[in-house]
Amino acid sequence: MKNYYYFLGILENASEEDIKKAFRKLSLKYHPDKNPNDDFFENRFREIREAYDILGDPEKRRIYDENLGHQQRSYRPTMPPFIKTFTANRIRVKKGEEVIITWQTQNADIVKILPFGLEKGYGERVFKINEFKDGKFNILLHATNSLLNKTIVRGITITELFENDKEKFRNDVEEMFKPQKPSRTNPGGQSKFLRFVFAAILLLVAILLLIKTFSN
């Protein structure tokens, strides 16, 4: 069950005026018209509108509060929260590329993933990153056991990948495996090195023979 109070950033005993103020403030911040073609802002605005539609209506809010209270009473794990898995299919992406994160928690009755919001205890989310901060995009998973008042956090950092980064990596790999050509300034350098190695081997064999002769 979604926590609409969390969506609006207010307490469960918030007044009608508090609900209206929170909705107006968040609507201006996350309105899709100010952030076109951004799935995150579009989804966040949809959550805010959904929350206000319920909490802004006294009768709908009364029914919602009853159901929320029943859920909170019926599921109260007594063990500390635990994050079993929290992974991303890629950690270096370009702007606009899709990222898939998956997670699984245990003993947590409140699970939220920032910057997205409340989630189920396990699941998968597909999203695109359109803005990075200093070349990074941080995702935080909070798993809370409200009965024990304990929260654990795990993070994933996605790094922005630029087109020239891919090109540089490809060139480095190609250079690593490219056959080495003899130096033009010293074309006989390789043959001199081989003669030196051969002479060293012969010298080593001679020394071993001498040692064997004297030992007999």
Per-residue pLDDT tens digits for 163-205: 765 555 555 555 555 555 554 545 555 566 777 777 788 777 7
How many CB atoms are located within 10 Å of the residue 66 CB? 10
Q: The domain at 82-164 falls in which architecture?
A: Sandwich (2.60)
Q: Is 32 exposed, middle or buried (0-12, 13-18, 19+ CB in 10 A)?
A: middle
Pairing of strands 150-160, 92-93: parallel
What pLDDT, on the 0 to 100 scale, is given for residue 75?
61
Q: Write out the residue limits of the CATH 1.10.287.110 domain(s) in the chain.
A: 4-74
Neighbouring C-alpha atoms within 13 Å toward the C-beta of 109: 17
Which amino acid is residue 95, in one-letter code? K
Contacts of 200 (CB under 8 A, 6+ apart): none
Residues of each domain in the chain carrying CATH 2.60.40.10: 82-164
Q: Measured between alpha carbons, how far is 3 from 119 in angstroms, rounded to an integer? A: 10
At 32, give phi and psi (nearest 5°): -60, -30
Find the distance separating the first CA and the last CA of the chain, reported in whole Å. Answer: 90
Parts of the chain with a pLDDT under 50: 183, 185
Please answer whether residues 89 and 99 qualify as being in contact, where contact means their C-beta atoms are separated by less than 8 angstroms.
yes
What angle is formed at CA 55 by the lines to CA 53 and CA 58, rounded to 5 degrees? Answer: 105
pLDDT for the residue 180: 55
CATH fold of 4-74, please? Helix Hairpins (1.10.287)
Alpha carbons 21 and 16: distance in angstroms, whole number: 9
**What pLDDT, on the 0 to 100 scale, is given for residue 63?**
93
